[in-house]
Structure 1
């Protein structure tokens, strides 16, 4: 009898949790989506404020890295002669 009572309680708890999840999940998801949307809007507005530039002005955001370095002491120049 205790085994059936335990199984009944487990099934009852499962259905109660399922009911409350169906009841509150849409509210919680809507709240989470609204929070993410507000954060995205705020980031977009901040980005727009930063990028306001006068018309006709050129702005360089990132300068390229100069990775080419000529090293003249790499080796000595050898002048080859052609053999006929």
Structure 2
């Protein structure tokens, strides 16, 4: 069975501090590159989705040129707000 010593505690503390500063240094170097790569990848995915949606819409409109759709949902009856209570006018008493 081993017992804890002051030198062992100092070594562990030194290793933790060294790891922290090395991690911060490496994060400053590589994190901007990683974020840039992720943003580029997300932009490419969004561009592909937009292109796919445009192609799909274009194909649908070409195949159904004569069909016209009108949506009248919620045009005659706008959403009403819920009334919670009555307005009470308070008067100041002298």
Normalised by the shorter chain, which TM-score bucket?
0.5 to 0.7
Query: 2:64 matched to 1:58?
Result: no
Q: 1:20-70, CA deviations, whole angstroms, 9 ceiling, x for partnerless residues? A: 01110000011011111100000000111111124x64355xxxxxxxxxx
1:30 and 1:19 map into 2 onto residues whose CA distance is 18
- The equivalent residue for 2:35 is 29
Give the TM-score normalised by structure 1: 0.62
Partner of 1:80: none
The RMSD of aligned alpha carbons is 2.1
- Unaligned 5+ runs, structure 2: 1-6, 70-94
- Rg comparison, structure with higher value: 1
Tell me what 2:15 maps to: 9
Residue matched to 1:44: 50
CA distance change for structure 1 residues 42 and 2 in 2, over 3 Å: closer, same or farther? same
Q: Give the aligned partner of residue 26 of structure 2.
A: 20
TM-score normalized by the length of structure 2 = 0.56
Runs of 4 or more consecutive aligned structure 1 residues displaced over 4 Å after TM superposition: none
